[in-house]
Amino acid sequence: MARRERCSGCGINMLVSPEARVVRCSECHTLTNLVPINARPGRTRYNGLPRMHENPYGNGPSPQHPQYPQPRPSLSPVPIYGRKRALLCGVNYHGKSYKLKGSINDVKGMKYLLVETLGFPNDSILMLTENEREPSKIPTKQNIRKALKWLVYGCQPGDSLVFHFSGHGTRQKDYNHDEVDGFDEALCPLDHETEGNIIDDEINDTIVKPLTRGTTLHAIIDACYSGTVLDLPFVCRMNKEGRYAWEDQRNPLFYKRTSGGLAFCFSACDDHQTSADTTAFTGTNVRTGAMTYSFVQAIQNERRLTYGHLLNAMRYTIGDVSKAHGASQEPQLTSSDKFDIYSKPVVL
């Protein structure tokens, strides 16, 4: 009897035969790898969050799969050459035992920074939160996937792209063996309990590989276990004195580069650490993510910060809060290229 499977590209349901191992979508032509029903892994819990031992490309181990032309995103890009464009996702997980209270506040703070300080047009910023009225702007897995494609669609030289996510992050088993530590990092959409997480392999495929020459992407990820969530090849390892060295995590068997553009990611913590959702910075009962707050404040205080000075400022701000919460949280910088972090200014 035929069974239903979800396309790993566009997400539509497909009817496939019980013995099928691979199926091609009739809509977007993406190949989805399948696993027999009796061999499917189950669900466990990790750090208090339900975790699906699956990957977005199918129900089995993450394959190296060929890339096919993707359909035009339903959200049209802003038609301005050399434009600034941003995707801001804040997930509070209302009604759940693991709910957060600061993620939507983080998104509001990030939008204020982009518009009022960095000159991003209001209509070039897409916000996905549980407070949005339009169903397409609720931070479900499919909506985030579509929005990520919108962010990089038609990118051109001079484009400045920003992806900000505030919510839960997690780790899950690395099925295709491209990770040094054996785990894929992942972001948890609102419906992750039923639809699964968005893993770093997919994020890299969607918003890193398409970056053309002259295009710059900055990701600001305020989530646990998020150090290498964009799967960028170079990790900046910094000690307490501010000295740093680039750690090369390239794997010759896996393509993890851009198409000529630049990608940078500021993450809340290392892959094995957790991040704080706190009232420590506001002096009120208003919660924010420690990482987002420290990022926004550092940029507002000094417009021409270098990457090194920004990373140091964030670490200094977060340090006391982390100790107060008994946590270990050290903001991380990863990049598509190695560079001198103390001479290159951050330009969003």
Number of H helices, E strands in the chain: 6, 19
Element holding 306 (H helix, E strand): none
3-state helix, strand, coil in the chain (%, to 5): 25, 25, 50
pLDDT digits (tens, 9 = 90+) for 14-56: 776 666 666 666 665 566 666 554 433 333 323 444 333 333 3
Q: How far apart are CA 54 and CA 60, in angstroms?
A: 6
Instruction: Verify whether residue 25 is a known catalytic residue.
Output: no
Q: Please report the pLDDT score of residue 256 as a whole number.
A: 83
> How far lies 298's CA from each of 35, 36, 278, 302, in Å?
47, 51, 18, 6
Which is more confidently placed, 225 or 62?
225
Query: Whose CA is closest to 224, among 172, 182, 270?
Result: 270
Instruction: Tell me what the mean pLDDT of segment 53-71 comes to.
Output: 38
Is a pLDDT exceeding 80 seen at residue 261?
yes
Is a pLDDT exceeding 70 seen at residue 216?
yes
Marked catalytic residue, from 7, 155, 224, 236: 224
pLDDT digits (tens, 9 = 90+) for 135-192: 999 999 999 999 999 999 999 999 999 999 999 999 988 887 778 777 899 999 999 9
Q: Give the length of the chain.
A: 348
Angle, nearest 10°, between helix axes 307-324 and 290-301? Answer: 140
CATH number of 82-333: 3.40.50.12660
Marked catalytic residue, from 168, 188, 192, 269: 168
Q: Mind giving me the DSSP string for 24-89?
A: E-TTT--EEE---GGG---EEEETTEEEES-BTTBSSSPP-----PPPPPSSPPP--TT-EEEEEE
- pTM of model > 0.85: no
Neighbours of 82 (CB within 10 A): 10
Backbone phi and psi for residue 322, each to the nearest 5 degrees, phi listed first: -60, -45
Instruction: Verify whether residue 272 is a known catalytic residue.
Output: no
Q: Please report the pLDDT score of residue 174 as a whole number.
A: 83
pLDDT digits (tens, 9 = 90+) for 92-108: 999 999 999 999 999 99
Are the CB atoms for 87 and 163 separated by under 8 Å?
Answer: yes
Domain limits of the chain? 1-31, 82-333
Edge-first strand order for the sheet with 160-166 is: 125-129, 84-90, 160-166, 216-222, 262-267, 332-335, 234-238, 244-248
